[in-house]
Chain A
Amino acid sequence: MLEQLETQYKQAAAALEQIAEGAGLAEWERETLGRSGWLTGMLRGVGQLPAEQRAAFGKRANEIKVALTQAYEAREKLIIEQDLARDLEEGQIDVTLPGRPRPTGGLHPSTQTLRQFYHIWGDMGFQVYRSRDVEDDDTNFTLLNIPPHHPARDMQDTFYTTEPNVILRTHTSPGQIRAMRELGEDGSKPIRVILPGMCYRYEQITPRSEIQFHQVEGLAIGRNIRMTDLKGTIAAFARRMFGADARVRFRASYFPFTEPSMEVDVECFLCHGDGCRVCKYSGWLEICGSGMVHPVVLRNGGYDPSVWSGFAFGFGPERMAMLMHGIEDIRYFWGNDLRFLEQF
């Protein structure tokens, strides 16, 4: 009996060493240590042994049970570890495969640029004032100090409508008149607004020119607004838009509705002034026209120009986006080709 126990023990221990997976291990456990396993059977059969053998057999059988249980547990742990290692090994995927595409939307680049303007100017106290696209000639021109047949009308080729004296606004500047008259309370309140909107010019559509484009115009009116403020404000905008070390150049220019007038150039942020194709090797990018509001315009807006003063400026968001993203063709903006839009 004891002999048989020892033999079975050796066999079982040897068999356990051969087991490499969970299923075999469970079977071994059932056959060996389980309720109907041989070892359990043998232990159960102790009572049938002669009494003098019982103690020795019982002791030995229990030792074997402890040994086999320990061996089993060690084996089980080993198999679990091996299984896990194999799973981790075999569960590898090609991480360079593309992710599952999500349906995504996006904002038009003009909207994105307009929002930059809203944020930066909003922080400086300039609020958004919008006005109509289809304008009367008076508000678009005459009230802005551009009387009929004035040479300055040549600067802006106009779309006329079949309704006399009704045109598509050529710039957002008529909004200056509307804002002054609406917000100024007969020339008694200061104003700080930006005027975004679509403008229209009678031009051939080419990679560099479009018949419609956004403008963002700014207007500040007060009793103490000076040219130095205009320069400082635009310089602050440039630092926000182009970085803290953006260099700005102001040069004299002409707009009928401002005087003194100036163009603002920012140092080319692509070549840092060394000259490149985008800045036409000049080192400067023209970003904005501006000036002190012309006294005639102030007067037409309801303000006494000997007491009130102001400045105005105008940006082209599409042009800005073209510079910042290297867009070569302005026609992309209203072309709405998804292959373009999806790049934003």
Chain B
Amino acid sequence: MLIPLSWLKDFVDIDIPAELLAEKLTVAGLEVDKIMYIGVPQTQQAHLHATFKQEVRYPKSDHLVWDREKLLWGAIREIKPHPNADRLVLALVDYGGAELEQCVTGAPNLFEFKGQGPLPEPLYTVIALEGAEVWDGHSDEPKRMILKEKPLRGIPNRSMVCSEKELGISDEHEGIMLFHADLGHKPGTPAQAVLGDIVFNIELTPNLARTFSIYGVAREVAALLDKPLHPPSYEVVMDGAPIDGQVFIDIREPELNPRFTLSLLRDITIKPSPDWMQRRLKLVGQRPINNIVDVTNYVTFEIGQPLHAFDYDKLVARAGGKAPTIITRLPEPGETLETLDEVKRSLDSHNILVCDTAGVLSMGGIIGGAETEISDTTTNVLLEAAAWQFINIRKTMSTQKVHTDAAARFSRGVHPSQAILGLKRGIELMRQLSDGKIAKGIIDDYPLPPETVRVALTTHEIDRIMGVRFSAEEAAALLRRGGFEVKVEGETMHVTAPDFRMDISSDPITGQADLIEEIARISGYAAIPNTIIADMMPDQQANPSLEREEQTRDLLVALGLRETISYRMTTPEREVQLVPPGMASSLPQADYVRLANPISAEKTVLRHTLFISLLENARANARYNERQQLFEIGNVYLKNGNAPLPDEPRKLGLLMTGKRGVSGWMHGEEGGEVNFFDLKGVIEGLLDGLHVRQVSYARAEHTSLHPGRSAQLLLDGQAAGVFGELHPLVGLAFGFEDVSVQIAELDLDAILKQADPLHGVEPLPLTPPVYQDIAFIVRETVTAAQAEAVIRKAGGALLKGVRLFDVYTGDPVPAGHKSLAYNLVYQTDERTLTDKEVAAVHAKIVKLCERELEAQLRA
């Protein structure tokens, strides 16, 4: 929202620099996002500091500061033809000097005055004298220039009448800036004093409906600076025939339209609005149209009450020549309306409408209809100022996809009390600008006035929430600055909220909070002391779920993996790539959590598996990184039958591809490519680090994985995830053609449940170990797990360790067989083992392996 300080000053006296005012507004919740300067200089930090003892920060602005000696308010007295050029004229400008200054200019908007001799009424503009700094009007890029003496087609020229672009007001460079009135300043006045201004851009939070206007901001400024407020004039000169009988109102939905007011202005002339109004409208970003439409906009921006003007004669025509009746109601089935934005709208059942007996006129509080709008031929104006329920306006804005300045205000809430003020302000301004006559009286239908909000607040309650002790009188004074009526009774304040404070709740507890916020805001947040919490500390508890998750991350990082965090959104089509064509999916079969309003076609559901995140990350990185070792911890989302909320199990995903090691400048040290056992090593390392017990592995049947190189992790015999080499066809789908990808998705909740932070520690052995190796040949179908189980069974208590150190197939091992070789460690704390004891156990192991594994001992 744009707030020109020149306009703001109509309503409140401001005696501090703009930058300090911006800081005060920002700290009070009206965030001044930007300060725009028109011609005037910024305040110096040092000045602020010295004068106001305030350290205020604001960005340095690189705007053009208008030289007070060389950029002056000028009156153009005459436009003469240029003797040598048709496209140029000579403007004779009174700039307060002894003689008129002659400027050579090509401004097209002066040509209509050419050769008329001295103008009966001068035109006003800004004249730049030699040496003045201005923006270069002919440059596309912002470029400054210093005005120099330069003859134009044989006529000496050392000054310039300026366009808005040259002064840095706007990009307008079609013609020079022209005013038809002196704006109250004599020629020769520094342009800064006439047109210089500062405009704030204020970001409004949704609770600040009351400040959605210049006057609304002025109220805040008055409260913050503790200055009196000067309201606009609501006097109306009514010298026309009485309004009674000329128009009627019929409100059918008072909940949606609690108030509707009308005034009638006859015998007007449609013409441009005056310079001062046009200038103000431009400063707030509006395009001037004509005196009637401009007033509706002006009042909307000035006091925040949107107005709507009808062409009264068109209404009379629609009523068959009789006095029209304005009806506000909901649409009938099939009703449509063509609005001012040239959209033909079919209406929704909740759209509150302004109608007459012949049909729909406009969408109440939002946008007018095309048929009855003001035109150049309008002579009689019916002005509407009404109140609308803000929630209903919001619904209509979203379903009809329409956004107007009026709707923006009504959708935040405008109190019905404002309607009559807006009507009076608007109709009187229209009268002044259009030479019309206002009908005597106002039609004011107000079926549902809101209740006045009254809240009782104690100083104790302020202290309880704020931690600051105010006396009742101190707090009351702060509230009164904001327009509240306060009656103090001991420690209690009986507060009546002003009607524009629709944000103050009538619920006692919420209303108190609303008032406490107001007291805090007006007194200033900076003035509230900082304390440490004196309240009792709640019981402290451990959070093992989080702590072990973080420990898992640390272990995986120590194992050399890098963490990723991915979008949780994907599509079923993306996840289908995880299944080789023609095969059944082993991925979760639950329904997806589907987005009703996806942001793009690539993000329509929440993921079922981390596989998709890992593989897409790996594919994206593959171009620059052949070697990738990644992990991700995060939720997947599985709909659970008819339960509205899905299950969100926590998963751990791992992905490894490329070389085992990192290549440096020493050749050949990277090792081979990672395979199943690298991945399994990481999983074992993690489970060891977490002290998870009862771990076993079994073959997996998962169609996304290589059928021969994939496994299931079992914890206590329960499945807790799968891992292994990615199925080559799936690898291909993700661009991994010649390289294998090792991937895992494990159930982190199940793993962490088994983690044992209280794991015991083996004492260090007191006796020396005895090492023996054993190697035997078994059929290939015998698994390592089976072989180790037999060895351990036979070894009994004396066998402390079993480590597989070689697996070999090929000559001389017969086909269909393999050789397994183990380091065995014998040890007991009770005594140092003798060779004889060891030999006995060792023989037992050999025997059992021969019997149970049909093993054949090697040399």
Query: Does the CB pair A134–B606 fall under 8 Å?
Result: yes
Q: How far is the CA of A203 from the CA of B660 in the complex (A)?
A: 41
Partner of B538, one of A164, A190, A261, A309: A190
**Interface bits A285-318 vs B (CB < 8 Å: 1, else 0):** 0000000101110010000011001000000000
B117 at the interface (CB under 8 A from A): no
**Interface bits A123-155 vs B (CB < 8 Å: 1, else 0):** 001011110111110000000000001111011
A247: min CB distance to chain B, Å: 10
With a cutoff of 8 Å between Cβ atoms, the chain A residues found around residue B73 in the complex are: none
With a cutoff of 8 Å between Cβ atoms, the chain B residues found around residue A232 in the complex are: 529-533
A105 at the interface (CB under 8 A from B): yes
A12 at the interface (CB under 8 A from B): no
- Interface stretch, picked from B25-33, B294-302, B575-583, B750-758, is B25-33
Partner of A100, one of B538, B539, B556, B664: B664
Beyond A103-B662, A305-B509, whether A225 also contacts B535 by CB under 8 A is yes
A177 at the interface (CB under 8 A from B): no
A224 at the interface (CB under 8 A from B): yes
Beyond A128-B546, A222-B535, whether A105 also contacts B465 by CB under 8 A is no
Query: Does the CB pair A132–B645 fall under 8 Å?
Result: yes
Which residues 582-635 of B sit at the A interface, judged by CB distance below 8 A?
A: 593-599, 603, 606, 617, 620-621, 624-625, 628-631, 635
Beyond A103-B629, A205-B599, whether A134 also contacts B646 by CB under 8 A is yes
With a cutoff of 8 Å between Cβ atoms, the chain B residues found around residue A198 in the complex are: 568
Chain B residues within 8 Å of chain A by Cβ, number = 103
**Interface bits A213-249 vs B (CB < 8 Å: 1, else 0):** 0000000101111111101110110000000000001
- In chain B, what residue has the closest Cβ to A229? B533
Query: Does the CB pair A227–B538 fall under 8 Å?
Result: no
B537 at the interface (CB under 8 A from A): yes
With a cutoff of 8 Å between Cβ atoms, the chain A residues found around residue B530 in the complex are: 228, 231-232, 235
Query: Does the CB pair A132–B648 fall under 8 Å?
Result: yes
Query: Does the CB pair B541–A127 fall under 8 Å?
Result: yes
B581: min CB distance to chain A, Å: 27
Query: Does the CB pair A295–B509 fall under 8 Å?
Result: yes
Partner of A334, one of B467, B565, B629: B565
Q: How far is the CA of A295 from the CA of B521 in the complex (A)?
A: 18
Beyond A105-B558, A115-B550, whether A189 also contacts B538 by CB under 8 A is yes
Query: Does the CB pair B564–A341 fall under 8 Å?
Result: yes
**Interface bits B482-521 vs A (CB < 8 Å: 1, else 0):** 0000000000000000000000000001101110110011
Which residues 515-555 of B sit at the A interface, judged by CB distance below 8 A?
A: 516-517, 520-521, 525-526, 528-541, 543, 545-546, 550, 553
Query: Does the CB pair A233–B621 fall under 8 Å?
Result: no
Query: Does the CB pair A252–B29 fall under 8 Å?
Result: yes
Q: How far is the CA of A98 from the CA of B664 in the complex (A)?
A: 8
B675: min CB distance to chain A, Å: 16
B43 at the interface (CB under 8 A from A): no
Q: How far is the CA of A334 from the CA of B602 in the complex (A)?
A: 15
A101 at the interface (CB under 8 A from B): yes
A87 at the interface (CB under 8 A from B): no
B836 at the interface (CB under 8 A from A): no
B505: min CB distance to chain A, Å: 9
A109: min CB distance to chain B, Å: 9
Query: Does the CB pair A282–B59 fall under 8 Å?
Result: yes
Q: How far is the CA of A299 from the CA of B395 in the complex (A)?
A: 28
Query: Does the CB pair A125–B629 fall under 8 Å?
Result: no
- In chain A, what residue has the closest Cβ to B556? A105
A interface SS class = mixed
Q: How far is the CA of A121 from the CA of B468 in the complex (A)?
A: 25
A107 at the interface (CB under 8 A from B): yes
Beyond A136-B644, A229-B467, whether A341 also contacts B665 by CB under 8 A is no
Query: Does the CB pair B557–A107 fall under 8 Å?
Result: yes
A342 at the interface (CB under 8 A from B): yes
B335 at the interface (CB under 8 A from A): no
- Interface stretch, picked from A22-30, A31-39, A62-70, A273-281, is A273-281
Q: How far is the CA of A334 from the CA of B564 in the complex (A)?
A: 8
- In chain B, what residue has the closest Cβ to A250? B525
With a cutoff of 8 Å between Cβ atoms, the chain B residues found around residue A98 in the complex are: 664-665
Which residues 353-376 of B sit at the A interface, judged by CB distance below 8 A?
A: none
Q: How far is the CA of A252 from the CA of B525 in the complex (A)?
A: 7
A269 at the interface (CB under 8 A from B): no
Query: Does the CB pair B466–A192 fall under 8 Å?
Result: no
- In chain B, what residue has the closest Cβ to A339? B624
Query: Does the CB pair A100–B669 fall under 8 Å?
Result: yes
A165 at the interface (CB under 8 A from B): yes
Q: How far is the CA of A183 from the CA of B595 in the complex (A)?
A: 31
With a cutoff of 8 Å between Cβ atoms, the chain B residues found around residue A228 in the complex are: 466-468, 528-531
Query: Does the CB pair A284–B57 fall under 8 Å?
Result: yes
Query: Does the CB pair B563–A106 fall under 8 Å?
Result: yes
B394 at the interface (CB under 8 A from A): yes
**Interface bits B12-23 vs A (CB < 8 Å: 1, else 0):** 000000000000
Query: Does the CB pair B537–A233 fall under 8 Å?
Result: no
B261 at the interface (CB under 8 A from A): no
Q: List A residues at the B interface (Cβ < 8 Å).
A: 97-108, 110-111, 115, 118, 125, 127-130, 132-136, 149-152, 154-155, 159-166, 168, 183, 189-192, 198, 200, 202-205, 211-212, 220, 222-229, 231-233, 235-236, 249-254, 259-262, 273, 275, 280-284, 292, 294-296, 299, 305-306, 309, 333-339, 341-342
Given A103-B660, A161-B595, A336-B564, 18 extra CB contacts under 8 A: A105-B631, A132-B645, A149-B391, A154-B206, A159-B596, A162-B595, A166-B593, A166-B644, A190-B535, A211-B569, A222-B535, A222-B536, A229-B467, A231-B529, A249-B526, A251-B29, A336-B630, A341-B562
What are some 27 contacts across the A-B interface (CB < 8 A)? Answer: A98-B665, A103-B661, A115-B550, A125-B540, A130-B545, A132-B645, A133-B568, A159-B598, A160-B595, A190-B535, A190-B536, A190-B537, A222-B533, A225-B535, A226-B531, A229-B531, A235-B530, A252-B29, A252-B521, A260-B465, A275-B57, A282-B57, A295-B510, A299-B509, A306-B509, A309-B464, A336-B564
Closest 5 CB pairs of A and B: A226-B467, A252-B29, A281-B59, A228-B467, A283-B57
